[in-house]
Structure formats: C-alpha cells, structure tokens
Amino acid sequence: MLNNQTILITGGTGSFGNTFVPMTLDRYNPKKIIIYSRDEMKQWEMAKKFEGDPRVRFFIGDVRDKERLYRALDGVDYVVHAAATKIVPTAEYNPFECIKTNIIGAMNLIEACIDKKVKRVVALSTDKASSPANLYGATKLASDKVFVAGNSYAGGHNTRFSVVRYGNVMGSRGSVIPFFLSIKDKGVLPITDERMTRFMITLEQGVELVWHAFDDMEGGEIYVKKIPSMNIVDVAQAVAADAEMEVVGIRPGEKLHEQMISAEDAYFTYEYQEHYKILPAINNWDSSPARIKDGKKVEEGFVYSSETNDDWMSSDALREWITTNHAKIGNI
C-alpha cells in the first residue's frame, strides 16, 4: 500500500510521528516520508535519529499557512494529520490559537490536499471529540466534521479523507504515566478523582490503526480502536504501589470518564473484530456497502465509554508494560 509512496505527516515531530516513521520505514518501503512541523529544534533532534536515511525529509511549516502547505504537498500521495493544539488547559486559556490550528489548519490541509491530488488523508482525533466538554474536544469534533465532509467537498477529485480516534496514549509526552514516574519518589501521587477511568492505547496500536484506515477507507469513516480501560487508582498503583494518593479534584474541562462513541453516533456505527467504524450521516453514506463491508451494526443507544468498557487492564499488566518500555516513556 505505502511501498514507493510519498507520505507527509503534519505535526510529525510529536509522539505519534516519532513512532509512525520508524514503523512505516520498517514495514513498508516508502519513497519518502516528509515531517511537516513548525518547531525547528524538535526537527533537528528527530533528524539525528534518521541521519543517513534519504527517505526521511524535514519541512518547516505550520498548518495555519496554506501557501506553505501547498509547497510541502507537491508530489505527496498520503497524508497523516497529527498537528494539533491538544493540552486541555492551554486550549481553555488560548481559545483563538486552538481554533486557528485545530479547525482553520484542518480546513487549509483539506483544500491543499484536494488541489494537490493527494490520494488518501487520515486525521488523528481524540476521545474528547465525542460529546466534548472542553474547547480542545470541541475543536477536534469540528475538525472531524470537516474531514468527513471533505470527501464531498473534493467533488470530482479522487482525494479521500478519514479519521482515527483513540484515547490516552500510554507513555506519550505529557500523559499521566510519565508524570507519575517523575514524582513517584516523593511518596505521594495526585489523583484527580478515585472514580476516574481512561482508555489505554499504545503508540504502536495507534500507528497500526492509521495503516488500517489507509487500506480500508472509502472516505468519511471514523475508526475507533477497541482498547482496554483502567481506573486512575490502578494506574497509580502500577507506577508506585506504596505511594500515598492525594485527591486533588478534576481540572477545568476534564471528564470523569472518556467516551469515543456516543449514543447519537450509534445509529451510524458498525462493529468489527478489532475496531468500530462510525460512518458519515451525510449523503446516505452510512448505508454504503463499500464502507460497511463485513461490519455488524451496534445496538441503538450503544456508547463506547471507558467506564462501561468490557475490557480492562490490570495494574500488573501496566506494571509489566512500564518495565518493558521504561527507557522510552516520556521521550516519545
């Protein structure tokens, strides 16, 4: 699928890009992978990892800059859209900036991809886009909507757009596991709420979901990976079993439980062995056999929530994962 193809990843110096690039180079033999991002220092650091590999290129640019996107997308076949303003408190205090990147940036990318005749585009989304409770989630819901509608916006062009949605990425920069590891020696771990639950997904699983989307998509689908849940207390115990837990309360805009498929989405959602697929409600695309394939429609009122999930990860399983991946946690 991706052999001898040119791939561009926006926000490619982030946690996802640092995993996607080596996995894709190893699994496929792409002609070129272009890292498109605005932080020159992160690009410089990442470039050292791939020094000597002519397939990896770096392009300074911002998704807010449509003209720069047009230049970067020249000759590109596949795009992964990972660029986002995603820290919840940052978005709450800087709403204009969040909207410019997450919504206007998405619109810029869609128009540029259509005009440059890109084949396939997969955008990374988040659980926070389902029934959003904060600005970040609201902007990602808007982004999801414009990527889905981009398939009709493309008109006679062959460019197709889809979305992948997943929850807390284990060990990624800024997430709870590396934070707990950094302060565990203090003997006290701050817990927002003892009832809080989160979905748990590895970056490798996230990359594989993007590969699957590229291979499966007709355009307009939102792919949701089936992954386990964990209670925040179990996460803390996996990091430091003897640490005291201090309840500090939920931050502004934060949810008690994560949700990736809402009851409203259930009307258009199909279940598969390893994932769910939300089909677009517009243009009767939800009844397209090419999009449904061998999927089974979920029951009315179905909700995919970290609280009611059937699959749970234990503290022991997370502790084993931390031991195995300790060297790269927080650096990816």
DSSP string across 94-111:
-HHHHHIIIIIHHHHHHH
Among the listed residues 82, 107, 77, the one whose alpha carbon sits nearest the alpha carbon of residue 13 = 82
Q: Specify if 309 maps to a domain.
A: no
Please give the residue range of the domain that contains residue 82: 6-166+202-226+262-303
The H or E element that residue 207 is part of is: helix 203-216
Q: Specify if 195 maps to a domain.
A: no
- Cβ-contact 211, 23 below 8 angstroms: no
Which pair of tokens denotes residue 221? 């689908």
- Cβ-contact 84, 135 below 8 angstroms: no
Whole-number pLDDT of residue 305: 97
List beta partners, residue 166: 126
Q: Specify if 171 maps to a domain.
A: no
Gyration radius (Cα) of the chain, Å = 20
Which pair of tokens denotes residue 293? 């394939």
Whole-number pLDDT of residue 331: 56
Whole-number pLDDT of residue 154: 86
What is the domain count for the chain? 1
CATH number at residue 68: 3.40.50.720
CA distances (Å), origin 227, targets 77, 124, 194, 230: 30, 16, 21, 10
Q: Specify if 323 maps to a domain.
A: no
HSE-up of residue 161 (Cα within 13 Å, Cβ side):
28
Catalytic residue status for 86: no
Whole-number pLDDT of residue 104: 98
Q: Specify if 316 maps to a domain.
A: no
Q: pLDDT (tens digit, 0 to 9) for every residue of the chain, 332 residues total?
A: 899 999 999 999 998 999 999 999 999 999 999 999 999 999 999 999 999 899 999 999 999 999 999 999 999 999 999 999 988 889 999 999 999 999 999 999 999 999 999 999 999 999 999 999 999 999 999 999 999 999 998 888 899 999 999 888 887 877 888 889 989 889 999 999 999 999 999 999 999 999 999 999 999 999 999 999 999 999 999 999 889 999 999 877 788 999 999 999 999 999 999 999 999 988 888 888 999 999 999 999 999 999 999 999 999 999 999 998 877 775 55
Q: Specify if 215 maps to a domain.
A: yes
Task: Give the integer Cα–Cα distance in Å for 36 and 76.
Answer: 12
Q: Specify if 185 maps to a domain.
A: no
Whole-number pLDDT of residue 95: 95
Whole-number pLDDT of residue 5: 98
The one catalytic residue in 128, 140, 225, 277 is: 128
Task: Give the integer Cα–Cα distance in Å for 187 and 242.
Answer: 8
Q: Specify if 181 maps to a domain.
A: no
